[in-house]
Amino acid sequence: MGFGVRLRGLWNIRGSVALCVGFALLAAIWSVEDISLAPPGLTSRSLQMATASAQVVVDTPLSTLIDARQDTHGLDALTNRALLLGNVMASPQVRADIAKRAHIPFDKLQVVPPITAKQPRVLAEAGNERHTSDILKLNGQYRLYIKANPTVPFLQIYAQTPDAESAAALANAAVGGMQSYLNELAASTRTTVAQQIRLTQLGEAEGTVINDGIRWRVIFLAFAVAFAASCATVIWLRRVREGWRLASLAEQTAV
């Protein structure tokens, strides 16, 4: 009889461990995949994050940067104009062109314009608002962060996407979209080439993944946490059940 009790106890322990392992495996899969029941299937979650950057000089056809005949007042004016262009880049018209060039959905692209001392907060544009729920889908978004140098006419464009290729494409598309808008505006106002602002990109943007291997790290962490939590729950439930059993035996003995 004692051997049977021990065997039954061992079987219960193995069953509990198997249950904990199964729950941990389910949690690990759910951490990297969206589980669908109707229809049944798995859809990969977007965990990878990639970035790319582009540097843009805002200049005139007769370059202010290399033409010694132009004074520094012209450079200051271009610096302010670079800040203006950084804000225009977040407008719906330019944002739509950028999304089209980068081959991404317009409603998934967010553009954050430059922040200055006079404007310390980003103004929400229609369709470009930021929500608290964005934290939960941070890695699956497409974002552009525009920074303007406060002393020289220089724009720094940072792109964030789920993969390196789309990050580089988005950063390059931002420059092309802004230049296209300036060309259309110049044509509509009949501004001559000699009077137009020129954007010079300093080399093509290159994307890079900043959290390579994140998928396996998330799987391991989810499995470890779920296994530990499930084991602790099973142990607690077994102790509660054992306590009830002992209390019942004590009542029967007392009677």
CA distance 128 to 122: 10
Angle at 198 between CA 167 and CA 66, to 5 degrees: 110
187 and 99 co-located in one domain? yes
Task: Answer yes or no: do 9 and 89 share one domain.
Answer: no
What letter represents residue 39's amino acid? P
What range defines the domain where residue 10 resides? 2-44+214-254
* % pLDDT > 90, the chain: 22
Asked if 131 and 177 sit in the same domain, the reply is yes
pLDDT tens per residue, range 104-133: 988 889 998 887 655 555 555 544 555 554
For residue 192, how many other CB atoms are within 10 A of its CB?
8
- Do residues 11 and 76 share a domain? no
* The pLDDT value given to residue 5: 43
Hey, what amino acid is at 194? Answer: A
Tell me if residue 5 falls in helix, strand or coil.
Answer: helix
* Overall average pLDDT of the 181-203 stretch: 85
CB 61: neighbour CB atoms within 10 A? 12
Average of pLDDT values for 138-147? 81
| Cα–Cα dist 111/91, whole Å | 8
| Residue 36 phi, psi (nearest 5) | -110, 135
Domain count, the chain: 2
